[in-house]
A and B are shown apart, each in its own frame.
Chain A
Amino acid sequence: SQQGEEDPQALSIQEGENATMNCSYKTSINNLQWYRQNSGRGLVHLILIRSNEREKHSGRLRVTLDTSKKSSSLLITASRAADTASYFCATDIIQGAQKLVFGQGTRLTINP
């Protein structure tokens, strides 16, 4: 079993629609972070949600965290073509040090 698995692996929607991506994990965590990666580029930090938080907003992004189900979701509202990218959740485990464990990612395509 792997820490940090995103679902779906790929998502294609029309511009203006909302996109929801999910992430599940196995072990207890300190926090969960979402990153975006444009093709051939680095990882851009989007949002961090701590284990004692349930929901967090940043602009058009909304992240939820359910520690009882060990899952998180990332909602992008009113999607734009520029949102086309891969989205990864990353966790750091309480007993670990500073490393992040990434999931496989969701490839999001926004069609104009």
Chain B
Amino acid sequence: EPEVTQTPSHQVTQMGQEVILRCVPISNHLYFYWYRQILGQKVEFLVSFYNNEISEKSEIFDDQFSVERPDGSNFTLKIRSTKLEDSAMYFCASSEAKQWAGGLSQPQHFGDGTRLSIL
């Protein structure tokens, strides 16, 4: 069964450094997402991406964050100047785009995540 893959599984970075988290979504999917989960807390939405542009973002996704689909398979999340509070598990997800009653009702398939530790 196709799956979403994320690399690296664990990233340790000094505060203030830039970090890029990588994801390979399921190949026929058209919507891509990033979520994060701070230890012991809820999974939080960061951003959704469709047709080479951001379709929605949360208030967490400020100017230090950016996403890119540099080629036909990868989807990346960049954090420009990391802070201690960016330490979390970051999940990539993807879904097909099918309309249902005017809305989108497709399961999102998640990768195993990248554990980001900021020192």
Which residue numbers of A lie inside 8 Å of B, CB to CB?
30-31, 33, 35, 41-45, 48, 50, 52, 88, 90, 92, 94, 96-105
Contacts and interface: CB of A to CB of B under 8 A. Distances in A.
Contacts of A97: 48, 55-56, 104
Candidate in B56, B103, B104 with the most chain A CB atoms within 10 angstroms = B103
Nearest to A4: B42
Contacts of B42: 102-105
9 closest Cβ contacts across the A-B interface?
A: A42-B112, A99-B45, A97-B56, A30-B103, A43-B110, A102-B43, A31-B105, A42-B110, A45-B107
B99 to A, nearest CB: 11
Q: How large is the interface on B (under 10, 10 to 19, 20 to 34, 35 or more residues)?
A: 20 to 34
B117 to A, nearest CB: 13
Interface in B56-90: 56, 58
Contacts of A88: 43
Which of B43, B58, B91 has the most chain A CB within a 10 Å cutoff? B43
Contacts of A30: 100-101, 103-105
Given A30-B103, A50-B100, A100 B113 contact: no
Given A97-B48, A98-B31, A48 B105 contact: yes
Nearest to A44: B110
B33 A92 contact: no
A7 to B, nearest CB: 15
B44 to A, nearest CB: 8
15 contacts: A30-B101, A33-B108, A35-B110, A42-B6, A42-B111, A42-B113, A43-B91, A43-B93, A48-B106, A92-B103, A94-B103, A96-B56, A98-B48, A100-B35, A104-B42
